[in-house]
Structure 1
Amino acid sequence: MTVSVDDFKKALQLWGSGVSVVTTCSEKFGNQGMTVTAFTSVSVSPPQILVCLNALADTGEGIGESGRFAVNILTDAQQEMSNQFAGGSSQAQRFANTPWQLGGSGVPVLTESLMSLECTVVEKVRAGTHWIVVGEVQYSHCREGAPLLYYCGAYRQLADS
């Protein structure tokens, strides 16, 4: 017997994760970005990461066309940015309201994020309702701050030590 969708979602809420925005730029679609929580490292040599993107999200089409993307880890001051890139506004509005610049690989990098990794696509695999996209890191940008976290359906912050 397979677990129900509701039980699966309830269980996954107990996994705390960082919040990131995946961005890309393609000739056909222009700048695109979306909020994701499914992001992890894959390999140190070569440096690779993966993100999981809802197959219905248009950002995946742009990544497929350009073959490039960035993962931008949000700071604890960027809840509104997370909400904006989660689908509450158009792609144009998302970037109009967000500090960004083109990175070395030609994709938008969110300049106030905690960290950004610019990647080229190594592999894209369909898994259920999502695409698993593996990228090889070409550039990294690290900045000061604390991460925005998501746990039990709400944004969280690290406790002061």
Structure 2
Amino acid sequence: MTAYLVPLMIIGVLTSAGVYLLLERSLTRMLLGLLLIGNAINLLILNTGGPSGNPPVRGRTSDDSTTIADPLAQAMILTAIVITMGVAAFVLSLAYRSYRINTIEEVSNDPEDTRVSQLSGKEDDELDDRPQPDVTRDTDLPDELDALPGYEGSR
């Protein structure tokens, strides 16, 4: 197997630039670093996939090649592209959320926290309007719906 020097140098440069950008504190630079590393990995998989050849379909030939191209490398690259796009979308949403939180000076109240604080501030008279459980009902005996057919109880 012959390894070409130029693709390996490109992979090394992309990986080192990606690692450098990952070490920055900015989320956008971190996103760019992840994308560079993802592209370097895709080039590495393509480089290790071997030389091009005939399509991996029975009966198809191209350019008088005797070898068949490895479809596994192409499938792995497509999978890696999808995973990289998912990670990029996630980091981009984190960056947007961080931007929205840090640029707005006043954070609004959460509606659920407001409702809970209003309920805790009410007096006992106002809380009596809520429905109360029926304490006269004996819950030890089975209800009509959860009793077994033919079961009369042993009491």
Please say whether Structure 1 and Structure 2 have the same fold, judged by a TM-score greater than 0.5: no
Higher helix share: 2
TM-score (norm 2): 0.18
Bigger relative contact order, structure 1 or 2 (CA pairs below 8 A, ≥6 apart): 1
TM-score (norm 1): 0.18
Higher strand share: 1
